[in-house]
Every structure is written in structure tokens, then in C-alpha cells.
Structure 1
Amino acid sequence: MLLHIPQVLGTVALQAVREQLAQAPWADGLATVGALGATVKRNHQVPADSPQGEALARAVEQAVRQQPLFVSAALPRHVLPPLFNRYAGGETYGLHVDGAIRQAAGLMLRADLSCTLFLSDPDTYEGGELVVVDTYGTHEVKLPAGDLVLYPASSLHQVLPVTRGVRLASFFWVQSLVRDDARRAMLFELDQTNQSLLRKLGSCAETLALTNQYHNLLRMWADT
């Protein structure tokens, strides 16, 4: 499931993140990639262990956890600390797949979902589309600043060359309570349908039955 989640960062929060990134140190993105990825990766990243990187990671994680649509779709067990990258001057990240296991806070965590939070207004740079390849085809994603795209970490994907301007983004991974993408998609559709009915009908026998089924399926499929 590929999902667009709008306005994860509002105008004030987005401006604060951009100001911190303007003061942050930048390092070659090759420092955080394996031998295979190094052949196709050309960008810069904020070191995760820098004061700016740690502060920015906390701010973005807090923002995404407060988004009901993100929680409904991702069912997060762990949100790995967000990272920050910059593409300019033709920089790109060729077709690749993210590693299945990531390390954070001394834990080995499974990456079920990949997330990209766009931080630059799309009209300020050319290129830089996130291209995700799945069983339904190839999808180019270039969202407004502050918006996030969520997609299975098992997907092949790439960032096209940025030929004008600067593309800033945050990226991170999620270990979900439900590792199977098809089951997560079913739970998400059921939850969103029930939420819509609750707004229209309020609490009633039908919405209670749907809520019961949702939680029983989650109980059956969740890894805790």
C-alpha cells in the first residue's frame, strides 16, 4: 500500500525544521549505505548522532505519531529515528531496496514500511521524484512540503536526479505491529470505513460490530 499523508508538518513546524537544517552539518550519504547501495547513491545527510540530527529526529517522530492517518495505516510498533537528506546539483539515488533489518537504540528492528517526508516546496527544485516500483506499476511521488508518503519497505525505489534547486527530505522506517502488507491494508480500510460511519451515524450496533471485528483481527495478526 502506497499512501499520501498530507500536512504532517504545518507551516510553523516546517519552517522550524528548515531553519535547523540550514544550521546542521552535512556529510556524504555514502556513510550510511552498504557496498551495493554505494554504487547508486549520491546525496548528503545530516549525521544521525549530531545534536541537530537528534533534535530534528525527535521533532519529526513526534509529529508523525500525532497523525491519526499515519497510525491507522502503519500501526507502528517502533518508529526508527528519522534521518535527513539533501539532493542538489544532479545528485540522485538509483534503484535500490532498503535493508530488511535496521539498528536503533541498541535494538535490531525489522523495516516493514518506508517513509519520506518532503521538506522542500516542489516548485523550488526540478527532478527529485521518489519513484516506487510495486506489483501495480511504477509510481512517481513529489509532494508538497510537509506531506509524507508511506510505502512497503520491500519495494524497489529510487530518487531521480535533482537538476535545479535543492530537495530536502526526512526519511525513516517503521516496524509495524502487523508485518504483512496485505493484512495492514485490510485493517486500514476497515478502520477508515468505520471512522467514516461513526461520523455519519455515531455509535450504533453496526459501528460497534465493525469495531469488534477490527480489534479481533488486530488481536489475531499483531506481533507485540
Structure 2
Amino acid sequence: MMLHIPGLLTPEELAECRALLAAAQWEDGLTTAGGQAALVKRNRQLAENTPTIARLREIVTEALLRNPLFFSAALPKCILPPFFNRYEDGGHYGNHIDNAIRYAHGSRMPVRTDVSTTVLFSDPDEYEGGDLVIEDTYGTHEAKLPAGDAIVYASTSLHRVEPVTKGARLASFLWTQSMVRDDWKRHMLFELDMNIQKLRAQVGETAETVALVGHYHKLLQLWAET
């Protein structure tokens, strides 16, 4: 499943992030690349010792946790601290699949990467190229989103960032371990949740909507790993 979340960040949060990133210290993005990814990754990344990275991570993580679309789609059990990257001067990230297991900086606790998320800080008219291209069982999808928006997709998807030929593309990327490991099951739960909300808006709280909510929670109870 691939999901576009518009307006994840408030205008105030976006402005603060952009200001912090403008004064940030960047390093070679290969510092977090696995063996296969290192062959196709050409970008810069916010250094872990940057004083402002904690505040940036706080803003992005809190925005995700309060967003009902993200929660419904990802059903988060654990969200790894976000990273931040910068593409310019032909920077790109070729076709790759994210590592199945990752560790937070300084931690030995393994986290399964079920769901990948990208949050944009640059508007599309600020750079050329830089499309996020995702290939999954539903086809090939291209995303070039407004600043403050997010895209959520299965970490098992083949994906890439096209070369940025002009300007700079700044973004955050992160991984979530879901309570529901299987992408198809998460997709079914998300669709059921969205349709329940639409029915409630149309007909209010009825015996049928209450029953559907019950079915949703029975499936979540059956599939969730807590």
C-alpha cells in the first residue's frame, strides 16, 4: 500500500524545520547505507552529532503520531528516529529495498522495518527531478509532493529517488515496525477503517457501523503483535 498524507506538518512546524535544516551540518549519505544500497546511493545526510537533530526528530515524530491517517495505515508499534537527507547536483538513490532490520543510533534493539515514510521539506518548484518512484504489486508510482506532505509505503517495495538536476530536495525518511507485520493485512485494515469512517459520516452511529467496528477490532486482535 502507498498512501499520500497531505499537510502532515503545520506551516509553523515546516518553517522551523526548514530553518534548522538550512543551518545544518551534512555528511555523506553512505554512512547509513547497506552493502547493496551503497552502490546506488548519492546524497547527503544530516550528521548524528548535529545539535538540532533531536528537535527535528521530535517535530516529525510527533506529527506522525497525531495523524490519524498515518496511525491507521502504519499501526505503529515502534517508530525509529527519523533521518534527514539532501539531494542536489545530480544526487540520487537508485533502485533498492530497505533493510529488513535496523537499529536506532546507539541502540542494540532490533526494529523490523515494515513501513517506510518520507516527509518533504522542499516544494516541487524548488528543485528539478527528485521524484520518489515506488514499484509494488499495484504497479509503478511516482511522487513529488508539496513541502510538509508525507508518503507512506511498504518497506519491501522497490523504490528510488531520481537525480536532482537543479536546486535541492530536502526530506526526512524513517521506518516503522507495525503491530501488523503483513502489508496486505494492514491494507485491508486500513480500507475497512476508512470505509467505517465514511459510513459514520453518512448515516451516523448505527447498529451496523458498531458491528463493523467490532469486526475491525477482532481482526486487529487476531493479527496484531504486541
Q: Same fold (TM over 0.5)?
A: yes
Is residue 26–residue 45 contact of structure 1 (8 Å, CA) maintained in 2? yes
- Cα RMSD of the aligned pairs, angstroms, is 1.0
Aligned to 2:137: 135
| Partner SS state of residue 93, structure 1 | strand
Is residue 34–residue 99 contact of structure 2 (8 Å, CA) maintained in 1? no
CA distance in 2, matches of 1:49, 1:205: 55
- Provide the TM-score with structure 2 as the length reference: 0.96
CA distance in 2, matches of 1:49, 1:55: 12
Aligned to 1:20: 20
- Provide the TM-score with structure 1 as the length reference: 0.97
How high is the sequence identity, in percent, across the aligned residues? 54
Aligned to 2:98: 98
CA distance in 1, matches of 2:158, 2:62: 28
Give unmatched runs, 5+ long, in structure 1: none
Structure 1 runs of 4+ with >6 Å offset: none
Summarize deviations over 1:35-79 as a string: whole Å, max 9, x none.
321111110000234321222111100011110011011100011
Aligned residues: 224
Aligned to 2:38: 38
Aligned to 2:155: 153
Aligned to 1:207: 209
| Partner SS state of residue 169, structure 1 | strand
Give unmatched runs, 5+ long, in structure 2: none
Q: CA deviation at 1:179?
A: 0.6
Aligned to 1:221: 223
CA distance in 1, matches of 2:137, 2:212: 29
| Partner SS state of residue 179, structure 1 | coil
Is residue 97–residue 155 contact of structure 1 (8 Å, CA) maintained in 2? yes
Is residue 48–residue 54 contact of structure 1 (8 Å, CA) maintained in 2? no
CA distance in 2, matches of 1:166, 1:195: 38
